[in-house]
Homo-oligomer: A and B are copies of this chain.
Amino acid sequence: MRHRVVIIGGGFGGLYTAQALRDADADITLIDRRNFHCFQPLLYQVATGALSAGEITAPLRHVLNRQKNTRVWLGEVAEIDVPAQQLLLRDGARIPYDSLIVAAGATHHYFGHPEWAAVAPGLKTIEDATEIRTRVLLAFERAERLNDREEQLAELTFVVVGGGPTGVELAGALGEVARDALRADFRNINPADANIFLIEGVDRVLPAFPPSLSEAAEKSLIGLGVRSRTATQVIAVDADGVTVRHQGVETRIRAKTVLWAAGVDASPLGESIARGTGIQLDSAGRVPVGPDLSVEGHPEIFVIGDMSKVVQDGRPVPGTAPAAIQEGRYVAQVIINRLGGKTTAPFRYHDKGMLATIGRRRAVGEYGPFHFTGTIAWLAWLFIHLIFIIGTHNRVLVLLKWAHAYFTLNRGARMITGTSAELANGGVSRD
């Protein structure tokens, strides 16, 4: 019987592992709860109507269908049975493995307040993105129908919690929605009057970037009408707004729409690994791994991507798509080498730099000692994201949509859909 490789998760880490094993003499199974790969870095563009969900997703079966040694399994892993080397799925099925790659990603962390999730949705799935799109568009719709100025203001106030790349990109895109895409659409309100607050706990946005780029990003945000509130902690979140604390002073921001882009909580599958191997997770629920990305004492279990804690030169490797891709390809090589009786040098993460976009021709980037801002950084961002989107066809569609949006300032995918669409009929009083 051939060596059985099982991969949990079809994100960047899992998918690139599977692809790097295409010629391996092994039976590969990729398990995911969803039938598609999602290009998470562009989710905020779905949330703000610039792209459709179909353009940033690719069916996993289709991506892997020419890889004859690989099958795709739609299912949710409930437990990893480490001693038996088997996965137990939610539907009761058991899947045995010889090598296991766990790449189940992470979700948002609500600072110990899981109840905030209902009022302040995060941005990790396609459903999150369409939910956020619906909430944002409905806020403008409700504002249009109100005559009370104060209530209108609460509807037109948007709070984004978290000043990392996701929060900055989301806040910037909201600024463009309000100033450009919706500019002529309403009769009773001016969408450009919208207040967009970006709340960040430390003293600058994009804290992982050099301070000069944080400053450039903050200036770009101001140009889009976004007010960043740094060194500011979120104390409370409810359906009517947030309470924040800055230098010991608490302030209330009335806002009907609060979006969450802060904190990282690794997949609960980490706990399953901890139970089975006795390893200790870090405070964010990540699994510490050794130099070959396997769990101590369990060379058959690898953990990669946002779920793993990889320390290199005393510093953690960041939880980004490029890191997950490098880890996935490395683990595939380790498995291929083992099957061939060879050893593999320890994993080395190669930092390819960082990029964050704020809006049209507004971005910041770092590549080694070089810093970029403005149009050059923005073009680099466009180019790199286009390259990593799965599927040539998606690439063409996204390029076309971006070109269209660039020249018309329009965002076509502005449907209010799903369960929250019902909100359209509730909670609105008309005087």
Hey, which bits of chain A sit against chain B, CB under 8 A? 33-36, 52-55, 57-59, 61-62, 65-66, 71-76, 89-93, 126-127, 137, 141, 144-145, 182, 184-187, 391, 393-394, 396-397, 400-401, 404, 408, 410, 412-419, 421, 424-426, 428-430
Contact = CB atoms under 8 A, between A and B. Distances in A.
A233 to B, nearest CB: 35
Contacts of A185: 59, 61-62, 65, 72
B93 A430 contact: yes
Contacts of A61: 182, 185-186
B92 A62 contact: no
A65 B180 CA distance: 13
A74 B139 CA distance: 12
A141 B74 contact: yes
B35 A137 contact: yes
A393 B412 contact: yes
Contacts of A408: 393
Contacts of A127: 417-418
Given A92-B430, A397-B397, A404-B393, A415 B53 contact: yes
Contact of A424 (B74, B141, B144): B74
29 contacts: A33-B424, A34-B416, A35-B415, A35-B424, A36-B414, A36-B416, A52-B55, A53-B417, A54-B54, A59-B185, A59-B412, A59-B414, A61-B182, A65-B185, A74-B145, A75-B145, A75-B424, A76-B425, A92-B429, A126-B417, A127-B418, A393-B404, A393-B410, A393-B412, A396-B400, A397-B397, A397-B401, A400-B400, A419-B419
A23 B75 CA distance: 56
A239 B424 CA distance: 32
Nearest to A74: B141
A371 B401 CA distance: 38
A35 B412 CA distance: 12
Contacts of A414: 35-36, 59, 62
B400 A54 contact: no
Given A36-B416, A62-B414, A66-B184, A93 B145 contact: yes
Contacts of A391: 412
Contacts of A182: 61
Contacts of A396: 400
Contacts of A59: 185, 412, 414-415
A411 to B, nearest CB: 9
A143 to B, nearest CB: 11
A91 B415 contact: no
A332 to B, nearest CB: 20
A104 to B, nearest CB: 15
Contacts of A137: 35
A140 B74 CA distance: 11
Contacts of A416: 34-36, 74
A405 to B, nearest CB: 9
Given A35-B416, A36-B414, A414-B36, A397 B400 contact: yes
The 10 lowest CB-CB distance pairs between A and B, nearest first, are A54-B413, A52-B54, A61-B185, A52-B52, A65-B184, A93-B430, A59-B414, A90-B425, A71-B187, A35-B416
